[in-house]
């Protein structure tokens, strides 16, 4: 067996590693993860999670993929937990002028909780997914998320809040591959999903109109006014749930020059800035978690302030404040700040403010 795709530094016996529960979506990544594990000699069981009514298509796709892969695929119902831990906070955040990241919340609170519970019921020690990241046991004996081979597909930010209970049992077979390699493997394996497009939308909001989704639930964002870069009142906006820090398009403001949202104020007003003024040096965070459950020490880290951003060097005071060496663009309250040491996730917190 090739231990490079397994959690940690290996296993003591084959019997300890011969079963794995793989979270499936019906897409190319999770399907190739299954096939890789099968080729490694594992007895694989699939699991697809039904988070909401919007996931019925994914459930069917996962079942079809499992049939082609020759494995059982069980359906896990996580609707109530998903509503409580992801959907309700998502709506509340937008209505308060924050910008949530539902995947970062879902992974520790719902997805991996459901997978571990199912694995325990089935007597399976390990779980796996098709995320692009690696799990390694560091010298201190702590399992940590590490950067993948593919910088373009890096999903460590989305996994940055996972704890030791999950990480010590997690297998990530795609951490050593590029996306093009994975698609080619799917073709070589003869998988029907080989060329299926990647999903880019919020999984529980088909079409991506999150504002309409929130309004359909009887919720409205705070009202307020647009405030120009010079402090001028530009009139009312549509409600804070329609906007996020750093946004340029869709503002409906004509000032003769590009403007961005710099700040969504507690009273509902939205302060605009000229191009270049949407950068900040100091960011505060709360809700910090670490892979080992210990406080995050003060020091210098590489920090991502959003999923697609480059990690930037910042000094952390050991409490709640980050000071970046170079200003970072549009760190939005509600988003995650993921901390890295070397190529490993050291911690994760939620952005509360920037200046």
Residue 75 has which token pair? 């359906």
In this predicted structure, the answer to whether residue 345 has a pLDDT above a threshold of 80 is yes
pLDDT class of 18 with cuts at 50, 70, 90:
confident
Q: For residue range 204-222, what is the model confidence (pLDDT) as tens digits?
A: 998 889 999 999 999 999 9
If you compute the radius of gyration of the chain from its CA atoms, what whole number of angstroms results?
Answer: 21
pTM: 0.92
Q: Determine which helix (DSSP H) or strand (DSSP E) holds 74, and give its type and residue range.
A: strand 73-77
- Indicate where the chain has its CATH 3.40.50.620 domain(s): 3-189
| CATH H-level superfamily of 279-354 | Translation factors (2.40.30.10)
| Active-site entry in 95, 106, 193, 265 | 106
Write the CB contacts of 289 (distance below 8 Å, at least 6 apart in sequence). 161, 163, 347, 348, 349
At what angle are helices 56-69 and 28-39 packed, to 10 degrees? 30
In this predicted structure, the answer to whether residue 344 has a pLDDT above a threshold of 90 is yes
Per-residue model confidence (pLDDT) at position 261: 96
First-residue to last-residue Cα distance in the chain: 51
The arithmetic mean of pLDDT across residues 190-199, rounded, is: 87
φ, ψ (nearest 5 deg) of residue 73: -130, 115
The arithmetic mean of pLDDT across residues 344-349, rounded, is: 98
Per-residue model confidence (pLDDT) at position 94: 96
- Indicate where the chain has its CATH 2.40.30.10 domain(s): 279-354
- Indicate the range of 97-106, 159-168, 252-261 predicted with least confidence: 252-261
CB burial readout 182-214, b (16+ within 10 A) else e: bbebbeebebebbebeeeeebbbbeeeebbebb
Instruction: Please name the CATH architecture into which domain 3-189 falls.
Output: 3-Layer(aba) Sandwich (3.40)
Per-residue model confidence (pLDDT) at position 17: 58
Q: How many CB atoms lie within 10 A of CB 81?
A: 17
Catalytic residue check, 106: yes
Q: Please give the share of the chain, as a percent, with pLDDT higher than 70.
A: 95
Report the half-sphere exposure of 339 (CA within 13 A, side-chain side): 32
The CATH class of 222-274 is: mainly beta
In this predicted structure, the answer to whether residue 120 has a pLDDT above a threshold of 60 is yes
Catalytic residue check, 95: no
Q: Please give the share of the chain, as a percent, with pLDDT higher than 90.
A: 88
Cα 172 from Cα 175, distance rounded (Å)? 6
The arithmetic mean of pLDDT across residues 139-143, rounded, is: 92
Strands 126-128 and 170-171, sheet pairing:
parallel
Cα 68 from Cα 81, distance rounded (Å)? 30
Per-residue model confidence (pLDDT) at position 153: 95
In this predicted structure, the answer to whether residue 9 has a pLDDT above a threshold of 60 is no
In this predicted structure, the answer to whether residue 201 has a pLDDT above a threshold of 50 is yes
In this predicted structure, the answer to whether residue 56 has a pLDDT above a threshold of 90 is yes
Per-residue model confidence (pLDDT) at position 289: 98
Per-residue model confidence (pLDDT) at position 273: 95
Per-residue model confidence (pLDDT) at position 13: 36
Average pLDDT, the chain: 93
In this predicted structure, the answer to whether residue 82 has a pLDDT above a threshold of 90 is yes
């Amino acid at each position: 067996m090739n231990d490079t795709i397994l959690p940690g530094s290996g296993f003591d016996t084959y019997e300890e590693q011969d079963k794995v529960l793989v979270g499936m979506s019906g897409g190319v990544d999770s399907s190739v993860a299954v096939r890789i594990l099968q080729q490694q000699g594992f007895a694989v069981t699939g699991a697809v999670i039904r988070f909401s009514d919007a996931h019925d298509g994914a459930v069917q796709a996962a079942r079809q993929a499992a049939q082609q892969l020759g494995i059982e695929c069980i359906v896990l119902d996580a609707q109530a937990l998903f509503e409580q831990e992801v959907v309700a906070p998502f709506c509340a955040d937008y209505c308060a002028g924050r910008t949530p990241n539902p995947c970062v919340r879902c992974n520790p609170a719902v997805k991996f909780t459901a997978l571990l519970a199912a694995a325990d019921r089935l007597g399976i020690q390990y779980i796996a997914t098709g995320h692009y990241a690696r799990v390694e046991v560091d010298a201190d004996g702590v399992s940590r998320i590490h950067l993948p081979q593919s910088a373009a597909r890096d999903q460590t930010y989305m996994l940055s809040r996972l704890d030791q209970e999950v990480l010590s049992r997690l297998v990530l077979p795609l951490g050593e591959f590029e996306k093009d390699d994975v698609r080619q493997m799917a073709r070589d394996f003869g998988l029907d999903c080989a060329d299926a497009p990647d999903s880019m939308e919020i999984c529980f909001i088909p079409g991506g109109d999150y504002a309409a989704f929130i309004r359909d639930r009887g919720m409205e964002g705070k009202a307020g006014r647009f405030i120009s870069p010079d402090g001028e009142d530009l009139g009312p906006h549509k409600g804070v749930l329609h906007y996020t820090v750093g946004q340029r398009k869709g503002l409906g403001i004509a000032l003769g020059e590009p403007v961005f949202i710099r700040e969504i104020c507690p009273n509902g007003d939205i302060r605009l800035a000229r191009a270049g003024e949407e950068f900040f040096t100091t960011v505060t965070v709360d809700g910090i978690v670490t892979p080992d459950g210990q406080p995050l020490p003060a020091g210098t880290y590489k920090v991502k302030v959003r999923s697609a951003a480059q990690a930037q060097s910042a000094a952390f005071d050991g409490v709640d404040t980050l000071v970046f060496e170079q200003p970072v663009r549009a760190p939005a309250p509600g988003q995650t700040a993921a901390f890295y040491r070397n190529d490993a996730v050291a911690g994760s917190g939620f952005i509360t403010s920037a200046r």
